[in-house]
Amino acid sequence: MENRSDNQDITRKSRIQQKIRFLENQLVSLDHYLPETYDYLMQELDIQRRLLAELEVSETFQEIDKNQFADSKKHLNLKL
């Protein structure tokens, strides 16, 4: 069950990274865009970077929780 969730997170992370690369490429070729378009691209880039940061923090917290659970099981085994 966890593997499925992990795979979904990896896939989601990959999609977000692709969106970020696309937006960055659009910003590089910005010379023909209107200021409103630049603002829109920057706003979208901020949104995608925030989503990526949320996912990375969530993944890190999950690892911490898994390790804490494993550590607590070790302590329980030692006491028995």
pLDDT tens, residue by residue, 32-66: 768 898 899 999 999 999 999 999 999 999 999 98
pLDDT of residue 17: 96
Tell me what the pLDDT averaged over the chain comes to.
Answer: 84
For residues 52 and 24, the answer to whether their CB atoms sit within 8 Å is no
For residue 51, give the nearest of 28, 19, 76, 80 by alpha carbon. Answer: 19
pLDDT of residue 47: 98
Range of the domain at 6: 2-79
pLDDT of residue 80: 44
pTM reported for the whole predicted model: 0.70
End-to-end CA distance of the chain: 29
Angle at 44 between CA 40 and CA 46, to 5 degrees: 115
